[in-house]
Structure 1
Amino acid sequence: MPGTDPREAARVVMGECHALPFLPELPDRGTGADQIGRTLAMLADLPVDVSPRGWRLADSPGRLARRAADFLDRDGDALEEANEQARDPEVDRTTGSRRLQVRVVGPWSLAAGVELPGGFPVLSDRGARRDLAASLAEGASARAGRLSGRMGASARILLDEPLLWHVAAGTIHSPSRLDPIAAVPPDQLALSLCRFGDALRDAGAAEVLIRVPVTSDPGAPPVWSVVADTPRGETPVDGVCLEAAPLHLAQSHAALDAAGTVLGDGRILHLEGLPGTERPPRTVTEAEHAAVGVLALLDRLSAPRYSSLDRVVLSPTIEQTVSGAPQATAALRGARLVGETAPRIAE
């Protein structure tokens, strides 16, 4: 979300997304409000600090780590306050169906983006990587659970893994060319993400989704089996978040197959952006046109139109929400309009 005022952001979220609110992120506030710093503020009993190159594990929390924790507390308080002021009796009657979404950097991208005290990524040390993941699972589930409980909702945790394909390809930067960071096999990535999802659900999260890029650098191609295929005997994460535009344009048939597999397995498909529309719809007619694009994408995925819609989440792209408060409000409202219109168009 744009700006630096958590109360203003919370009011927009609760005004447009009362049934599926999310904890706003305000990166314009600087270090500590960035995505990695915000996630590190959720860690349980694992202090961090800032080095000249970025965030790192430390013996005690640094000043900017305390700042990140303060930002996170303020964001939660502002959202709870906005929730009290925007009570929706119809939504409140649907007990158990309301979700609060909290986005965190996933365990693999976090391990790739945070340093050990010696300067190497946490990803390079198996023991440190395991400790970081355990701390993240405990802290993120506790944070999301407390806030969602105060709001009369259950927690949906979105694991953002922007570096997952680089982890799989072995292209994470190392400070020494003599000690490159080894690639992690896709089957190990898939297994660990399933078990990380289990840990979050065991700690109280209702749903766990994973967000990955549809496209990546040539040296780090997507490995869709990591998020689409479930290792034998494991429980998959509850859904996948993908950018809609590359799916609509069929830029990756493998991505389309993965999205179709997720829906076919009865899981959630969260689409960022509305397929086939350049800007958020402002009228019912424009929302109907956008809904047709969503349904056309479901057809391409071989997913039943009407019965699949309750497992499809629509949200704006990040670019649409960070450009200004009016634009963010319009983008969220447009996604909500399409979500409300699509079932009628599908009948």
Structure 2
Amino acid sequence: MTHVSIKELTKVYPGATIPSLDRLSLEIPTGELTALLGPSGCGKTTTMKMIAGLLEPTSGDVTFDGRSVLRDKPEDRGVVMVFQNYLLFPYMSVADNVGFGLKMRKKDPAEIKRRVGEMLELVKLPDLGDRKPSALSGGQQQRVALARALIVQPNVLLLDEPLSNLDAHLRFEMRDLIRSLQQEMGITTIFVTHDQEEAVVLADRVALILDGQMKQYDRADVFYKRPIDEATARFFGGHNFIPGTSDGHVFDCALGKLSLPEGATTGAGKLTFRPENVRIGTAADGQNCLTSTIADVIYLGTQTRLKLRVGDTALDAVVNPNEIESYAVGDTLPIHLPRATLWVI
């Protein structure tokens, strides 16, 4: 159980003029699961490798429970890192792979056998201990890699794109397993991902990193409801950004004067609302009602995406397909924007 503190962590690779990671600061409470989220090349894996001791930072610090670990060797940090390619020993059995860390620590063979059995039960592979990794599916290999990491009871568990090599149905299964194991064992866990849905499902909190800098660090729901800026909102699927001016109660823009929730930002800015928060029909309270024209209809199976126009302003909406069965491109569609779902950035 370890509290991880990352302070102004910076990495400039030799020959580079721009930092790969620029003054990243994070507080990761004991036992929490935190996602480092962002596109390829934003500095996520660089951060993880510096926590593990596989890279030396240019500046900044990493502390575990208040003590700097930068001078500690990787093997002395109590950190285990699971790579996206698993890196299982192909010539060893599953059981020997899982028990490898305990063997290196010279644990008693009987204890190793017992704990390997327990761990294989936890990852739902109780009968596969004698097989070689090559005889396993990708999902099973990922479970073995996870078991090998957890069996040594690390202070901090690092997962690098843990689900990226799995098929869609296996990703759902592994998400549940990773989350349940992490909660059961209480290990402080940091995982890297470029998939915002994966981060939202798994993490207690998410650190969004763009171009080497942290944009926002918060609970997953906050990124949807109160993004810090337009880049953050767009990364989480935001589409509607309307320039205008707020007095804290009303936003004056090309759509008209729209009522805002309490505590809204004042001054010039952009009004944003998620496509799924656009409502069809007229609001009972008469607030924020607009008349739109359907420019395009895109059927997505469980949802339908609408391209709408209100005057010269384009809007995106995501609705239940049943709601618009009687509508077509070119039709007039009444919509309203619930006040509570609006946010000024």
Q: Indicate the TM-score class for this superposition, using the shorter chain for normalisation.
A: 0.3 to 0.5
Higher helix proportion, which one?
1
Question: What TM-score, normalized to structure 1?
Answer: 0.32
Higher strand proportion, which one?
2
Q: Which has the higher contact order (CA 8 A, sep 6+)?
A: 2
Question: What TM-score, normalized to structure 2?
Answer: 0.33
Indicate the structure (1 or 2) with the bigger Cα radius of gyration.
2
